[in-house]
Amino acid sequence: MTIIITFCVLLLIAYLFDLTSSKTRIPSVILLLLLGWTVRQITKFLDIELPKFTHLLPILGTIGLILIVLEGALELELDKSKLPLIKKSAIGAFLSFIAFAFVLAYLFHYYGGYPLQACLINAIPFCVISSAIAIPSVQNLNLSQREFVTYESSLSDIFGVVFFNFIYYNTTFGFSTFSYFFLQILIMIVISFLATMLLSLLLNRIEHHIKFVPIILLMILIYEISKKHHLPALLFILIFGLSINNFNQLKNYKWSERLRSESLAKEVQKFKELTAEGAFIVRALFFLLFGYSLRRAEILNPDTIFWAIRIVILIFIIRTIQLHLSKVPLLPLLFVAPRGLITILLFIGITVENQIGLVNESLIIQVILICAFLMMFGVMITSKKEEPKVVKEDKLN
């Protein structure tokens, strides 16, 4: 009973963080981590024994990832005017991801002498922009910036998971390896479109008062089965979210009439609301439990802090180049490069045989916290500088 009451209180506090983040400009994730860490200190001080929650992190992380990517996809509208933005975010996310992965892997290889493949496996978690942190943290920015971050971070999650599995599950990299990889992507695209049509039909035709929970369960089931066969499962989530949110673009096709797009739009709106609330609960629980698992020795570990600073500097160097080449305004998007949920999940998934001495839990935690704080201060400072300009423009209008 005490645990249930505690979680209810913590989630209500998390909701207050979410409500006030637009005014304080402090990312709710930082406050959640701090809250989780504070709870741990209180339980230690009062000598209260609680069960270990760390085994729940992979489960919450996977469900959270699905809901967060889905939530982002359901907010995006596809039309010809959006194509340049989609192109910029996709190319930028991919090229910066690849460049960062290989540069960091080479540094691990050069300074540690570890096998290059193991170094690349350990470098990939640091390359992924966390959509779980980035998307909620840019709600105060303008529409085009929010859309860029949503596309970029969602695609970064997908690229990270796909590339990690590709490097992790292959020992040789020849023509047959890459051919099979592209075949997997093609298979996943076909599965995604077929599953999207099926789920859209169910979403529109189920008349029972419980209809959204089965849809979400089927999504998680398709995701997990695809993931088990090493297919890029996040691609399905992105395609499904984009498709049902932009179904009006398919009005010219006869088969779309069966779905009665007008009535489907109402159901999609309800589905959006449920997804947003589910994503909030899972995201809050994940970062609360992750904050609870943090130890002071890991946060302040002097053996890894210099590597953490180097990695963060490299993140911002590559991001500066990426935004410049994409012809996207540098500020405040330069600071929106947080690491988080996917970084943790990929790190947890590295087996003992592929681990290297330079990368450990302390390094992961320090990079996540430094990036989060830099994003917080960077967005706060640049937002204050832009406010007078907005006021002047309003007066002129």
Structure tokens at 278: 């589910």
**Residue 22 pLDDT class (50, 70, 90 cuts):** low
Question: pLDDT for 281-304, tens place per residue?
Answer: 988 888 888 888 888 888 888 889
**Residue 128 in this model has a pLDDT that exceeds 80:** yes
Torsion of CA 184, 190, 196, 202, to 10 degrees: -110
Average pLDDT, the chain: 83
pLDDT of residue 396: 37
Cβ atoms of 376 and 26 closer than 8 Å: yes
**Among 133-137, 155-159, 267-271, where is mean pLDDT lowest?**
133-137
Pick left, alpha or beta for residue 175 (phi over 0 → left; psi -120 to 50 → alpha; otherwise beta).
alpha
Q: What is the pLDDT of residue 251?
A: 60
**pTM score, whole prediction:** 0.83
- What average pLDDT does this structure show over 155-184? 85
| pLDDT given at position 331 | 83
Percent helix, strand, coil in the chain, to 5, is 80, 0, 20
User: What average pLDDT does the segment 180-185 reach?
Assistant: 87
In the predicted model, what is the mean pLDDT of residues 236-248?
82
Residues 368-378: what's their mean pLDDT? 87
| DSSP result, 134-199 | HHHHTTTS-HHHHHHHHHHHHHHHHHHHHHHHHHHS-S--SHHHHHHHHHHHHHHHHHHHHHHHHH
Max mean pLDDT among 116-125, 297-306, 386-395 falls in 116-125
* CATH code assigned to 2-396: 1.20.1530.20
How far is Cα 211 from Cα 173, in angstroms, rounded to an integer?
Answer: 44
pLDDT at 305 over 90: yes
Q: Residue 256: pLDDT band by 50, 70, 90 thresholds? A: low
Q: Grade residue 393 by pLDDT with cuts at 50, 70 and 90.
A: very low
Measured CA to CA, the distance from residue 189 to residue 243 in angstroms comes to: 12
Kindly indicate the confidence band of residue 247, based on its pLDDT and cuts at 50, 70 and 90: confident
Q: Is the pLDDT of residue 187 over 50?
A: yes
Residue type, 171: T
| pLDDT of residue 392 exceeding 80 | no
When pLDDT is cut at 50, 70 and 90, the band that residue 397 belongs to is very low
Q: What is the pLDDT of residue 108?
A: 94
Measured between alpha carbons, how far is 23 from 303 in angstroms, rounded to an integer? 37
The proportion of the chain whose per-residue pLDDT surpasses 90, expressed as a percent, equals 18
